[in-house]
Amino acid sequence: MSGFFGIASKNDCVMPLLFGVDYHSHLGTSNGGLAVYGEIGFQRKIHNIQNAPFRTKFEKDVEFMQGNIGIGAISDNEPQPLLINSKLGSYAICTVAKINNIEQLKTLVFNNGNVQFQEMSMGDINQNELVAALINQKDNVIDGIKFAQEVVDGSLGILLLFKDCIYAARDKFGRTPIIIGKSCEGYCVSFESSAFINLGFKYVRDIGPGEIVKLDNQCCVSMCPPNDNMKICSFLWTYYGYPTSTYEGVNVETMRYRCGAIMKEYDKDITIDSVAGVPDSGIAHAIGYANASNIPYSRPFVKYTPTWPRSFVSQFQKQRNLIAHMKLIPVDELIKDKKLLLIDDSIVRGTQLRETVDFLYSAGVNEVHVRLACPPILYGCKYLNFSRAISDLELIARKVISEIENTTDVSKEILDLYANSNSEKHQQMVKAICEKMNFTTLRYYRLEDLINAIGLDESKLCTYCFNGRE
């Protein structure tokens, strides 16, 4: 995953830019970067942030950076922003993207002229350099951005920093957000609306799907109108979004409260002592459940993760297991001889949640009833780089389905039955996962309830990972 932030200010913007990007640290643990334009031209710094927080890596750099306009990014993937010198002028580029047709696009730009790719630090070309090459195929920035958005299979959000302005372009289906803020000093654009609140910016509006805006410290102008069709990722509210952020008018934290309250309605047949959420994103769901049920909320374990990455992001199972084990510290007095209802945002591979339940049992819990704040994840995401799963078969739901069906080649028609929360196959899958994970009981959130909790029309939400619908 990635997040980005841009600012155009009447005064020096380096420190607000640093903090604005830092507020996206939950979206990436590998690379971070800043680019500004000032009296000495473009300045750019990129650091690996795997072993230290973003802000601490740049504390010395910002002392020597100067400018009133800049962009920055945090990423789990390629280093960015990149500096580009092209026929369209010199600019810096950041993206939030997942490009599925890289090889096809490489061929396209190679065939259209003398193009070479130099940024190979991740073993392949940098997606930002590829996007820049696509933009540079056209004679102006707007046409170039439109072209890149059209030919990319996946998703593509863009920030371009020129010496006097920033262009911000949201993915053509709006799969990820870009939000505009305004202060007395100028304008900002951000993936997370929460990133600009403490910097003195007020919400202006969400950029629409496929819309391109141009901003400086005086004004923000739409250069290309938004599309009618939007497919914003529903998982942003369930997991990835920061609690204080709001997308398309829907706050993350309050959506999770609604989710937990709705979830409670299906639990008439169990007796529990307390409700707990797996930190961090499970907490708000648990609070919503506890408030609606009048059952006490408790914290039987506390998260300690200042330097730990997400367990499911790691490429190596051994490392995922270690991370999952080390992240949570139990409070024995709130666990021993208790019947707990535990809410997590989701199960991807099952690594972290299995570790969590195992240490609850080792601490003396009697029962662990697990509730998941989204439907079963049946498909790896085609539109966001939120997991490094090699194949759909790494997903615990797909593993169990393959075991039930005795084949890895399960048809879409059969998968649709498992996605249907009212079907016998769905119940069979849930029971098998429950037994495999050693839960007392297990329930997933229904898709229709997830849509209701978000509050947007179903046609505006991407639910591909749950039902495979494009």
Residue with tokens 């002592």: 273
CB count in 10 Å sphere of residue 442: 19
Domain boundary residue, one of 195, 230, 265:
230
Q: Judge if 203 and 263 occupy the same domain.
A: no
Closest CA to 220 of 168, 161, 258: 168
Q: Judge if 221 and 256 occupy the same domain.
A: no
Do 56 and 43 contact (CB within 8 A), yes or no? Answer: no
Closest CA to 350 of 434, 445, 228, 440: 434
In this structure, what are the phi and psi dihedrals at residue 27, rounded to the nearest 5 degrees?
Answer: -100, 0
Closest CA to 32 of 13, 51, 12, 11: 51
Cα 73 to Cα 99: distance, rounded to the nearest angstrom? 17
Q: In total, how many domains does the chain have?
A: 2
Q: Judge if 260 and 165 occupy the same domain.
A: no
Using alpha carbons only, give the angle 384, 385, 389 rounded to the nearest 5 degrees.
120
Do 33 and 46 contact (CB within 8 A), yes or no? Answer: yes
Closest CA to 382 of 461, 469, 309: 469
Q: Judge if 271 and 370 occupy the same domain.
A: yes
Q: C-alpha distances in angstroms, 268 versus 160, 289, 372, 453?
A: 53, 13, 17, 20
Three-state secondary-structure class, residue 143:
helix
Q: Which residues pair with 250 in a beta bridge?
A: 247
Q: Which residues pair with 441 in a beta bridge?
A: 369
Domain boundary residue, one of 230, 262, 293:
230
The CATH number of the domain where 105 resides is what? 3.60.20.10
CB count in 10 Å sphere of residue 392: 20
The CATH number of the domain where 384 resides is what? 3.40.50.2020
Do the domain assignments include residue 243?
Answer: no
Q: Judge if 102 and 208 occupy the same domain.
A: yes
Do the domain assignments include residue 245?
Answer: no
Q: Estimate the crossing angle of helix 396-405 against helix 424-437, to 10 degrees.
A: 110
Do the domain assignments include residue 235?
Answer: no
Closest CA to 375 of 467, 456, 289, 437: 467
Three-state secondary-structure class, residue 250:
strand
Q: Judge if 223 and 263 occupy the same domain.
A: no
Q: Judge if 257 and 381 occupy the same domain.
A: yes
Do the domain assignments include residue 25?
Answer: yes
Q: Which residues pair with 167 in a beta bridge?
A: 160, 214
Three-state secondary-structure class, residue 200:
coil
Do the domain assignments include residue 350?
Answer: yes
Do the domain assignments include residue 118?
Answer: yes
Give the pTM: 0.92
Q: In whole angstroms, how large is the CA radius of gyration of the chain?
A: 23
Do the domain assignments include residue 244?
Answer: no
Query: Per-residue pLDDT for the chain (470 aa), expressed as one digit of tens each?
Result: 899 999 999 999 999 999 999 999 999 888 999 999 999 999 999 999 887 889 999 999 999 999 999 999 999 888 999 999 999 999 999 999 999 999 999 999 888 876 777 765 666 788 999 999 999 999 999 999 999 999 999 999 999 999 999 999 999 999 999 999 999 999 999 999 999 999 999 999 999 999 999 999 999 999 999 999 999 999 999 999 999 999 999 999 999 999 999 999 999 889 999 999 988 889 999 999 999 999 999 999 887 765 554 444 444 555 555 665 667 788 999 999 999 999 999 998 887 788 889 889 988 999 999 999 999 999 999 998 765 555 788 899 999 999 999 999 999 999 999 999 999 999 999 999 999 999 999 999 999 999 999 999 999 999 999 999 98
Cα 285 to Cα 256: distance, rounded to the nearest angstrom? 5
Do 137 and 87 contact (CB within 8 A), yes or no? Answer: no
Q: Judge if 320 and 410 occupy the same domain.
A: yes
Residue with tokens 């009981």: 441
Q: Judge if 25 and 163 occupy the same domain.
A: yes
Cα 445 to Cα 462: distance, rounded to the nearest angstrom? 16
**Maximum distance among all Cα pairs of the chain, rounded to whole angstroms:** 70
Q: Judge if 151 and 272 occupy the same domain.
A: no
Three-state secondary-structure class, residue 285:
helix
Write out the two tokens for 395.
């997903």
Cα 133 to Cα 154: distance, rounded to the nearest angstrom? 17
Write out the two tokens for 312.
């499911």
Closest CA to 98 of 462, 467, 466, 398: 462
Domain boundary residue, one of 166, 197, 230:
230
Using alpha carbons only, give the angle 251, 202, 210 rounded to the nearest 5 degrees.
70
Sequential DSSP letters for 286-313: HHHHHHHHTPPB--SEEE--SSPPPGGG
Q: Judge if 385 and 439 occupy the same domain.
A: yes
Q: Judge if 268 and 204 occupy the same domain.
A: no
Segments forming the whole domain that contains residue 399: 252-467
